[in-house]
Amino acid sequence: MSYHGDDKFLYALSSNQAWASYKSHQNPALFRNLANEHAPSILWIGCADSRVPETTILGLQPGDVFVHRNFANIISPTDINTAAVIEHAVVNLKVKHVVLCGHSACDGARATLTDSPAGGVLETWLTSLRVVRAQLASELATIQDDRTKEAVIAEKNVEVGMAVLMANSIIREHIKSRGLQVHGCFFDISTGRIRDLGLGTTISVQRAPKAGAANVTVRGQHAQLVFREGGVAGMEAR
């Protein structure tokens, strides 16, 4: 059935009741534990795109992922909103992993393919993405398909954002003091798969896992996301 306008919201409220009942049946202590403790292992910085719901695509549960999303997952060093989320997640919640994830079919990347103004505040927000497009001009000129161009811009945007994250003083301090891991990833909407781009702390830890080294595991209901030594992540069925 298709829902529009307020009907969709009313359906969502009804669906929430069913979801809460189902989760409580699965694990009667779930919501009580969530109310008493906030201890996520991952800070996810992603796009506000409705097709990229981080907890869902990771196969994880409420409480596993602390989230910051904005239009086109742009990391600006002067954005106090992003800075506040990073500080709270890293300093207070002590997450073990920071993940910056871009995605295919990104509306922000699409908006930069032409010189037409995006309008209003969007034009200001997308300035850094237009710089990325300009940097890729030669490569983009050889590509005919717009979807491929969007993906190239979106992936480069992650690389640029990772450089900003790795220059963040709080992140640098916690990488040094407690081994915080920072990952750059890309989500392909057409396949539902996340690809590790090999950025962040991964590039500085290119060594084989030590014998007996402990993995960091974030468990979901049906799968678990395992971060192994060297920054390599993998999804395993439970």
Give domain limits for the chain: 39-210
103 a catalytic residue: yes
49 a catalytic residue: yes
Over residues 109-130, the pLDDT tens digits come to 999 998 888 888 999 999 999 9
Among 32, 38, 51, 178, the active-site one is: 51
Q: Which of 194, 193, 186 is nearest to 161 (CA)?
A: 186
Model pTM score: 0.83
Q: Which residue has the higher pLDDT, 220 or 202?
A: 202
52 has a pLDDT exceeding 70: yes
Q: Which of 74, 60, 103 is nearest to 190 (CA)?
A: 103
107 a catalytic residue: no
Q: Superfamily for 39-210?
A: Carbonic anhydrase (3.40.1050.10)
How many other CB atoms are found less than 10 A from the CB of residue 39? Answer: 12
106 a catalytic residue: yes
Among 97, 103, 133, 174, the active-site one is: 103
Over residues 91-103, the pLDDT tens digits come to 999 999 999 999 9
Burial tier of 218 (Cβ tally within 10 Å: 0-12, 13-18, 19+): buried
Among 97, 101, 106, 133, the active-site one is: 106
